[in-house]
Each structure stands twice: as C-alpha cells, then as structure tokens.
Amino acid sequence: MKENNELTRDDIAIDHDMEVDCDEGREIAVYIETWFDVDKKFHIDTASDDDTWLNMYGRYNPFDDTLRIECEISRQDSSSYFDYEPTKDEAQLIKDMIAEKIQEDYRRCTWAANGKKKVVWRCINRLDYGKKYCHDSPSVEESVLQEAIMNAVLQTAKQNAEVLKTLKLHIGMGLSAETTEDNSLDLQIRIAEIEAEFQKMLKAIAADNVEAFDEEKAKALMDEKAKLQIQLDRIADTKQKRENAKSRLDEIFTIIEALANHPISYDDQIVRQILESVIVESKEKIKVVFVGGLEVTQTI
C-alpha cells in the first residue's frame, strides 16, 4: 500500500470466477483477493484469531461506471459485513483490473503445423487448465472472428440510423475531455496584479531604507503567482487535449458514417471505440455488444 494506505496493483488480484446479475445483465460481481494488511487498511482485527479472515467483493456496473466494494469478516461461528468506499484512484484501478481480467477470458495465440502458422483466439481457462474448467469453448480463427465483427458493425450501421447517432454520442462522451470551468482570464488578471504590486514594492526601495522591504509579503506574492501559473498551465493543457479529442472524434465520425455505404476491412482502432465487448457464444455465433448496450448476434 501507499503511505496513505491507498491500494496499489500489487495489493489485490481479481479472481477468474465472475458472475453477472441474471435480471439485467449489467452488474459484474467479482472476488477481490487481498494481498495487503487488511487490519491496517480497515482498522479491524483478524490477525489475533486464526479462524477469522476478510473476504472482499466488488460489484462493477460498466454501463453506469459504478463500483461497490463489500467486505465480509468471516469467523468460525458468524460473519459481519461492511461496505468500503474506495478512493477515486482505487476505484479506477479495480475497474481497470476487472476489465483486464474479462479480456483475458479469450487469449490470442498462434498455432503452427506443417510449416504454416494460424492466429486463433482460445479460452484462457482452456489454455491454462485444459478441460478441467472449460469443456466446450471453441477456438476461433482470428480472421474469421474479425470478419464476423465487421459484418455486425456494417449491418448495424446500414439498418439503423438511430444506432449510428447513439454510437456517435457515446464516442463523443468517451473522447471529449471532462468539462471544467475556464477561469484563465481571472488567473491572468490576478498574476498581472501581483506583478504590478511586486514592482511597486521594488521601486519603493531606496538606498536608505532597504531594510524596510517586506520580504514575507514579497515571498507570499511570488508563491501565489507560482500557484496561479500552475493552474493556468493546466487549463491550457486541458484545452489542447480537448482540441485533440475533437479532431480524433471528427475522424471517427467520418469513418462510421462511411460504413453504411462503403464497407471496410477490420480496423482494431474503430472496433475498440464503438464496441463494449465481443462474446463467443459458440463456434457458429458471436454476440457483439456496442457501447451503450446494443447487442447484435452475428453468425461466424
């Protein structure tokens, strides 16, 4: 853990076994392995009893971007529960690790036979444990999978104009920088006032009254100016990032709008922007989930 007891990537692990709620299919439940001092982190006492330990669970809704952490103190004869509110950085870390674990479910690998190579996607549990945990998952050739994904995207763009608008909206939300108040003019005015006041203090110094110069006030002014300049630089940096995002957004919109009439080959960059996930349901069928929740079934 960090000095402030904030969790890091080395402190936790996401278990392979995940559950999705059966009612709406929007929330992912995971078990979070704890590799840190839970007593120190949560101000509890489990170390004094060998039959007491802490279980930590996460409930992540990627559609609403919410995360809830539930903790269970398990004892030999009873259990107690409490919720933990993660910090902003902890929440983002856990969300990222859950997403990474989901992406690990299918792993890219290369098959070689008779001097020829072929790239396929296989279930990670099948690769790691053979048929112990995974009996029926198919191996899908990468080119076939890519073709099926693009067919789903192209057909959706052609058949439903509202879908295209929804995709554009969500991509815009994803790329656009978070809107913040632009008070750069106020900052510039205050910096100018500080500089003017500091110059006035310098001009007031005469050969016979150097000791009258207020060093504490001068230092306070310069410290304030430095802090304001940092804020000003951050605003300028945010503006530049927003402009870059807008430029990228325009490029993506142009490509997506062209999809309806001009089929293109598989483009990983486009796919990552407009799709939430691709689920291999069988060797003949995949489910393509667009950003926003739209699901399209596509034959392979």
Q: Express each pLDDT in 41-62 by its tens digit.
A: 999 999 888 889 999 999 998 8
Q: Is the pLDDT of residue 108 over 70?
A: no
CA distance 78 to 76: 6
Does the pLDDT of residue 238 top 80, yes or no?
no
43 Rama sector, left if φ>0, alpha if ψ -120 to 50, beta otherwise: left
203: region left, alpha or beta (phi > 0 left; psi from -120 to 50 alpha): alpha
**Helix axis angle, 142-159 relative to 161-175, nearest 10°?**
110
Contacts of 291 (CB under 8 A, 6+ apart): 167, 170, 171, 174, 273, 274, 275, 276
What count of residues does the chain have?
Answer: 300
Q: What percent of the chain has pLDDT over 90?
A: 18
pTM, rounded to two decimals: 0.40
179-188: pLDDT as tens digits: 556 678 888 8
Q: pLDDT tier at 128 (50, 70, 90 boundaries)?
A: very low
**Per-residue pLDDT, 133:** 41
Three-class SS state of 199: helix
Which pLDDT belongs to residue 201? 83
What is the pLDDT at residue 267?
Answer: 66
Radius of gyration of the chain (CA): 28
